[in-house]
DNA sequence: TGATTTTTGGCAAACGTTTGCTATGTGAGC
DNA sequence: GCTCACATAGCAAACGTTTGCCAAAAATCA
């Protein structure tokens, strides 16, 4: 069924609720209630209306509804400046799980990319203050703020993901960075390693602080001095993982008392590091063990297969959405502590006892 | 019910245009014109209004505007079921370039994930027919259609990206899959290779058809029989690249007259294939040359570094948006032929003359 | 100075829904 | 038979903008 010649609704855009009402022989308000409010209208009338709506191919206008109800059914995800990494599928995975979870609850997902420019900040604030979005999930450490408007003091429900922003009053969904790295480091120690190279993300970054703390904790718990960990990197962002790893390989070559184990804080770093190291003649894991963070699928196909800490992006997305809808539903609820979804350590051939 | 006319503005939501008007001492309509329509209001009045708006932190309500004007300023991107691959950064790269281009033109980007379920189709159709979106960029080969409603016969401006859907009447932005593979294959031939393994994507898929045609064309042009190309794969989707490559390695081992060159149609395939092949004792490129498609950054850090065909995701995104805005601006314009953005062949160590 | 044009600002009617309140109809209780 | 309660449908007023049309003011011209 396509064009209907009963009524002439094809004038402006699609058919209107009024057209459905006319065709069904009822009032507009009855149509509205039939389509949205379950118990409020007679079953026979509803059937007639449903039929009419389907016949006309009627779709309610989202803006009109939104304006009247005063709420949108769109949620925005605020993504950091650069969206892509080397091999990690963070963005796609997060997007997919969040989008699915939102869809199941009748929400749409809008992308908002937060760069360093005031323009993108302004844009996000417009989305928030202009009533376009009903909530936000943020993957960036900076809350947009410009011209005295700030995301912080809107009533807009916000959930932080990946980063723990509980301190800023935002409910947060994170993974146990620290503990995961502690475990991986402990495993290295158990294998017999006593000197480490830690390849760092950007200094002061939440993840790097946590992960480094985890490594330190492991060596302390083993009764080792913190001195056994050398650091490389710290000045580049995670997006620059390959460059960080490459640089780390150079740093490694210059170390006098060479580590036997490497803890890279992203798969990208581990991959470019390994590539350079192997090219220089060292073997993994015979001469050097490697573990990294992220859990990119490709790690399984590296040579040798890379041990990595798999981040639960899918589950974090789901939990973040659940939390957000919670907040949207019941009004104010402050969260003091973040929700933690555990990462999973995957042991592969890149880790072995030191050869000496 | 509370309809106090003289409530302070902070009672309900943010400040309204009426509040700005009152503070500036002008009529609402003047505020509207001052904020949107350039030449229509006195400079002094405009300054007063701007000041008032800024002071109140006023942001116009997007839905009210959208309802009145009859147009939204949101564009949706329709993404195929699964969003992530092994190493390719397709989705993030496309998203980033599209989002940036849209932002510069005052549009928002909404995500629509098109699965195989009727629910996701219905959702997308609601977005289109409900006036939520002003246009769409589609990365999927299937146009949503359910209950007699179809994306095809809406007036909604649509641009197809990656896939050539000119045949279906959609303006398309694609890359030169066929020619790029032809070139890469020709380079293999020039190096001396005479027997090939082609690792295929899903059979009948646009990309696979094009890429295979390119390979065939190259061997024909070199005066070789089409028989020199063996095929592997064809039954799995590109998202399953690692599995395809792994399977291809097994297939390769069973071939009697072994190829000396492999043409993989995605980096994922090449990576898992190489991994398995090297594990079985063969060397790349000494025993086997490899080239693949996508241009994932990680290829540079594979051992050996992988030759690959780099897809211009960024530029395609920009062009797609430009084309879409074109169509939105000027009304109907049908495009018979796709816009082609050229891929770039990157030669790396995985390709060398055959050893024999 | 009066008539005509050009600016500029205001009134009020849309845009397509939802929803409080009010009719109308129907069955039960007295 | 009359009232009361209850279910169902309709009227009309929002929701916050934009914009066609007109009035007032200012500027130009005769």
> CB distance from B280 to chain A under 8 Å?
no
CB nearest to A301's CB, from B13, B113, B271: B271
pLDDT at A335: 66
Going A32 to A38 to A40 to A42, the CA torsion angle's sign is: positive
Nucleotides of C under 7 A from a protein CB: 7-12, 14-21
pLDDT at A107: 95
Q: Which residues of A touch B59 (CB under 8 A)?
A: 125-126, 129-130, 149
> CB distance from B92 to chain A under 8 Å?
yes
Q: Is the CB of A70 under 7 A from strand D?
A: yes
B67-78 per-residue burial string, b: 16 or more CB within 10 A, e: under 16? beeeebbbbbbb
Are A174 and A340 in contact by the 8 Å Cβ rule? The answer is yes
- The list of chain A residues with pLDDT below 50 reads 1-12
Minimal CA separation from A171 to chain B, in Å? 23
Minimal CA separation from B278 to chain A, in Å? 9
pTM of the complete model: 0.91
| CA–C1' gap, B74 and D8, in angstroms | 39
Q: Is the CB of A113 under 7 A from strand D?
A: no
Interface of B with A in 216-255 (CB under 8 A): 242, 245
pLDDT at A153: 78
Count residue pairs from A and B with Cβ separation < 8 A: 174
Residues 31-60 of B, Cβ under 7 A from nucleic strand D: 32-33, 35-37, 58, 60
CB contact under 8 A, B63 and A302: no
pLDDT at A10: 37
Are B226 and B219 in contact by the 8 Å Cβ rule? The answer is yes
CB nearest to A131's CB, from B63, B110, B129: B63
Report the alpha-carbon distance of residue A199 to residue A193 in Å, rounded.
16
| CA–C1' gap, A114 and C15, in angstroms | 32
pLDDT at A271: 97
Contacts of A176 (CB under 8 A, 6+ apart): A340, A341, A342, A343
DSSP A178: H
| CA–C1' gap, B28 and C12, in angstroms | 12
> CB distance from B127 to chain A under 8 Å?
yes
Residues in chain B: 356
- Tell me the average confidence (pLDDT) per consecutive run of 10 residues in chain B, 356 residues long: 34 79 90 82 86 92 94 95 91 95 95 91 94 96 88 89 92 96 97 97 95 98 96 95 97 94 97 96 96 96 95 97 91 75 96 89
pLDDT at A2: 33
CB nearest to A64's CB, from B67, B110, B119: B67
Closest among A75, A55, A65, A42 to A5, alpha carbons compared: A55
pLDDT at A333: 61
pLDDT at B333: 61
Report the alpha-carbon distance of residue A267 to residue A252 in Å, rounded.
17
| CA–C1' gap, A113 and C14, in angstroms | 35
pLDDT at A38: 67
């Amino acid at each position: 069924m396509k064009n209907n010649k009963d009524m002439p609704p094809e004038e402006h855009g699609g058919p209107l609720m009024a057209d459905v009402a006319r065709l069904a022989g009822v009032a507009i308000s009855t149509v509205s209630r039939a389509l949205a409010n379950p118990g409020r209208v007679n079953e026979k009338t509803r059937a007639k209306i449903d039929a009419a709506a389907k016949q006309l191919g009627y779709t309610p206008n989202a803006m009109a509804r939104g304006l009247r109800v005063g709420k949108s059914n769109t949620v925005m995800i605020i993504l950091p400046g650069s969206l892509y990494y080397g091999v990690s599928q963070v963005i796609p995975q997060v997007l997919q799980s969040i989008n699915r979870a939102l869809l199941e609850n009748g929400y749409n997902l809008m992308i908002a990319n937060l760069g360093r420019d005031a323009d993108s900040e302004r844009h996000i604030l417009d989305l928030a203050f202009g009533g376009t979005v009903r909530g936000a999930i943020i993957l960036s450490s900076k809350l947009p703020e410009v011209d005295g408007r700030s995301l912080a003091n809107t009533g807009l429900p916000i959930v932080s993901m990946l980063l723990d922003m509980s301190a800023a009053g935002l409910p947060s969904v994170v993974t146990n960075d620290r503990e995961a790295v502690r475990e991986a480091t402990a495993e290295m120690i158990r294998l017999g390693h006593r000197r480490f190279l830690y390849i760092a993300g950007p200094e002061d970054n939440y993840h790097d602080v946590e992960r480094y703390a985890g490594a330190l904790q492991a060596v302390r718990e083993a009764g080792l001095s913190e001195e056994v960990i050398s650091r490389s990197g710290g000045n580049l962002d995670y997006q620059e993982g390959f460059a960080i790893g490459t640089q780390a390989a150079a740093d490694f070559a210059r170390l006098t008392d060479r580590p036997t184990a490497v803890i890279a804080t992203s798969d990208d770093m581990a991959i470019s590091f390994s590539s350079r190291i192997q090219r220089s003649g060292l073997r993994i894991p015979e001469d050097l063990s490697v573990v990294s963070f992220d859990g990119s699928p490709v790690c399984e196909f590296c040579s040798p297969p890379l041990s990595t800490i798999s981040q639960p992006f899918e589950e974090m997305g789901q939990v973040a959405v659940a939390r957000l809808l919670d907040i949207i539903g019941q009004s104010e609820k402050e969260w003091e502590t973040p929700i933690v979804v555990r990462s999973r350590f995957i042991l592969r051939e890149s880790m072995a006892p030191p050869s000496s």
